[in-house]
């Protein structure tokens, strides 16, 4: 299997390179555009290739982008994070803030032709995501009852009011899955179900073909519930491992759209200067992605906060933003992104200082050996493209100046997620979404109750009872002021404990031919269903 995938990738690379040599830029762009428009086929890219196409089973970024076209959530969100109709056409919340009633769209069918109903919603929330998705489970455990009042109505009663609950119903958070596909299975069976190879959603597109290592082709769902949509007939995600060739494919019109990770940050300025393309940094309001250097506290001496603080001071975040990401993004100042509710701008990380970092390691009793090395750690880079490789090299150089030797491990995306989940790493790079509220997307990384062998939980193993208590206060309070006070103290403590080394508030560009319409229309950007995307 590995050799076949490698061969396919080499074939893609050769074909793209050959097209560049054979065809002038402008001619290819016009021809490719005309051909794509006639066929109703939008060709884009996905980097890296998703390991599977069922959200909940896998929640890595590339998976969520592709599956946002196949599956749907009860709601969508605009750029102000206000809820909009999805599979629910309307909804209401009672005065006590504990009862949510969702009135579902009518005439919705699954891709296999079976009717969608309230039973699918109840199953998705109380069984599928409760058992498979640790982040969703942490929130859905607050549900007292979730019942189908009739085929088109779902009522959710919470044990107590929970202010950010309405933000939990996007497809990337709680995709609605078909009960008849997974009914009767336990968590392991759902995670490994043969049906996962042929995802069955209600979205505007359905899986038509997947040549692993080459492309994913989605075809129009002819019985989609919104009349006359989707406007496209096909959506093709090409897998092009080489970043230079991805740029070639975009420039020559072989693809008309590039999403996150497709075009390296250092190449973005030239697309911003090209009138043929639109570079959109919008559409990430729902996610607030924050990157960090992830440390496994079980690996000595990373359990010592002084060591973690020293490593943090060795990183020049402004250099990372300006020299590696060419200004696309912002330096992190705390564990809560400035795009997320309750970010405290008064909280600041300790300043970059190699001298102070070395002194702190000396204080921790970690003296240099004869070769200048204090200690050695395994470093598992994030396999999401050249920019992340460059970041990894920078981290190795900076840690090396402190006498900390990082031994690089090379992994693919699936292996990275597995090793992270199994705590089989010392140091890696990670980024996660914050989902609009710290209770939804920040807490999971730092509370001791969420130390699990599951990716994107508290895999680092950090534990502080006061942090647990403050997150609990913020989680259970209905007062915005009380929540703000709790999160302010949390940020101050975390900056001192430095459980992870926060790097950047990421800004992923969406680059597309300027003639494409309705690409970024809401707070979830390219994760949306693309039912309204069209050729101009």
49: helix, strand or coil? coil
Q: How far apart are CA 383 and CA 149, in angstroms?
A: 46
Longest dimension (CA), the chain: 74
Nearest to 509 by CA among 321, 326, 258: 258
User: Half-sphere exposure of 307 toward its Cβ, with a 13 Å CA cutoff?
Assistant: 20
> Hey, what's the torsion of the CAs at 102, 107, 111, 113, to 10 degrees?
130
Q: How far apart are CA 493 and CA 498, in angstroms?
A: 8
Q: Are 294 and 429 contacting, i.e. CB atoms less than 8 angstroms apart? A: yes
Q: How far apart are CA 142 and CA 163, in angstroms?
A: 12
Nearest to 400 by CA among 376, 381, 364: 376
Which pLDDT belongs to residue 39?
Answer: 81
Which pLDDT belongs to residue 339?
Answer: 85
**75 beta partners:** 85
171-211 pLDDT tens trace: 999 999 999 999 999 999 999 999 999 999 999 999 999 99
What are the extents of the domains in the chain? 2-68+203-281+509-519, 75-182, 290-506
> What CATH number has the domain spanning 290-506?
3.10.105.10
Q: How many helices (H) and strands (E) does the chain have?
A: 19, 21
- All residues at 6 or more sequence positions from 433 whose CB lies less than 8 Å from its CB, including other chains: 172, 286, 287, 288, 289, 441
Cα–Cα–Cα angle for 43, 48, 53, nearest 5°?
75
Q: How far apart are CA 128 and CA 199, in angstroms?
A: 14
Helix, strand, coil shares, percent, the chain, to 5: 40, 20, 45
CATH H-level superfamily of 2-68+203-281+509-519: Periplasmic binding protein-like II (3.40.190.10)
Structure tokens at 91: 């909804």
Tell me how far CA of residue 53 lies from CA of 219, 391, 522, in angstroms: 15, 28, 22
Helix axes 2-22, 243-251, angle to 10 degrees: 40
Which pLDDT belongs to residue 29?
Answer: 63
Give the helix ranges, DSSP H, for 145-274: 171-174, 179-182, 187-191, 243-251, 268-272
Cβ neighbours around 268 below 10 Å, total: 20
**317 beta partners:** none
Question: Could you please report the per-residue DSSP string of 56-123?
Answer: TT---HHHHHHHHHH---SEEE-TT--EEESSEEEEEE-TTS-EEEEEEPSS-B-TTSPBP-HHHHHH
Q: Which CATH number fits domain 75-182: 3.10.20.90, 3.40.720.10, 3.40.50.2300, 3.90.76.10?
A: 3.90.76.10
Cα–Cα–Cα angle for 340, 451, 51, nearest 5°?
75
Nearest to 287 by CA among 488, 63, 506, 511: 506
Question: Which residues, given as ranges, of the chain have pLDDT below 70?
Answer: 1-29
| CA 65 remoteness from chain centre | 8
Which pLDDT belongs to residue 31?
Answer: 76
Which residue matches tokens 């038509």?
A: 208
């Amino acid at each position: 299997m590995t050799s076949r995938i490698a061969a396919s990738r080499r074939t893609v690379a050769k074909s793209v390179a050959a097209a560049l040599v054979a065809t002038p830029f402008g001619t290819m762009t016009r021809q490719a555009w005309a051909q794509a428009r006639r066929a109703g086929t939008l060709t884009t890219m996905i980097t890296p290739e998703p390991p599977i196409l069922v959200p909940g089973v896998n929640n890595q970024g590339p998976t969520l982008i592709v599956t946002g076209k196949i599956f749907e959530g009860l709601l969508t969100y605009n750029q102000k994070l206000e809820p909009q109709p999805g599979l629910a056409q309307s909804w209401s919340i009672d005065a006590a803030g504990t009862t949510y009633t969702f009135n579902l769209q009518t005439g919705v069918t699954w891709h296999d032709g079976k009717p969608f109903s309230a039973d699918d919603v109840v199953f998705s929330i109380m069984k599928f995501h409760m058992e498979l998705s640790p982040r969703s489970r942490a929130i859905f455990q607050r549900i007292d009852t979730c019942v189908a009042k009739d085929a088109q109505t779902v009522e959710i009663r919470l044990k107590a009011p929970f202010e950010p609950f309405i933000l939990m119903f996007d497809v990337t958070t709680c995709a609605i899955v078909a009960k008849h596909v997974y009914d009767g299975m336990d968590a392991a069976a759902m995670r490994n179900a043969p049906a996962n190879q042929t995802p069955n959603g209600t979205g505007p597109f359905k899986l038509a073909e997947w040549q692993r290592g080459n492309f994913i082709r989605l075809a129009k769902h002819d019985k989609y519930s919104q009349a006359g949509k989707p406007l496209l007939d096909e959506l093709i995600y090409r897998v092009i491992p080489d970043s230079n060739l991805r740029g070639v494919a975009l420039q020559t019109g072989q693809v008309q759209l590039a999403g996150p990770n497709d075009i390296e940050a250092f190449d973005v300025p030239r697309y911003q200067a090209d009138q043929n393309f639109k570079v959109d940094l919008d559409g990430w309001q729902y996610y607030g992605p924050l990157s960090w250097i992830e440390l496994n506290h079980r690996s000595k001496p990373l359990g010592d906060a002084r060591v973690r603080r020293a490593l943090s001071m060795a990183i020049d975040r402004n250099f990372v933003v300006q020299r590696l990401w060419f200004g696309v993004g912002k330096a992190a100042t705390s564990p809560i992104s400035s795009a997320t509710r309750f970010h405290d701008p008064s909280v600041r990380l300790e300043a970059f200082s190699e001298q102070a970092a070395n002194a702190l390691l000396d204080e921790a009793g970690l003296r240099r050996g004869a070769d200048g090395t204090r200690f050695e750690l395994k470093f598992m880079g994030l396999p999401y493209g050249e920019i992340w490789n460059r970041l990894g090299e920078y981290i190795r150089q900076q840690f090396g100046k402190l006498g900390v030797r990082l031994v690089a491990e090379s992994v693919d995306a699936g292996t990275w997620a597995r090793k992270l989940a199994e705590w089989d790493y010392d140091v890696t790079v990670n980024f996660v979404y914050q989902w609009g509220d710290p209770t939804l997307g920040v807490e999971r990384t730092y509370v001791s109750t969420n130390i699990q062998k599951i990716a994107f939980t508290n895999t680092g193993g950090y534990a502080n009872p006061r942090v647990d208590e403050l997150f609990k206060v913020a989680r259970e309070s209905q007062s915005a002021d009380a929540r703000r006070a709790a999160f302010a103290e949390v940020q101050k403590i975390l900056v001192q404990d430095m459980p992870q080394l926060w790097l950047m508030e990421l800004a992923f560009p969406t680059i597309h031919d300027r003639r494409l319409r309705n690409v970024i229309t809401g707070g979830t950007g390219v994760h949306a269903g693309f039912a309204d995307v069209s050729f101009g």
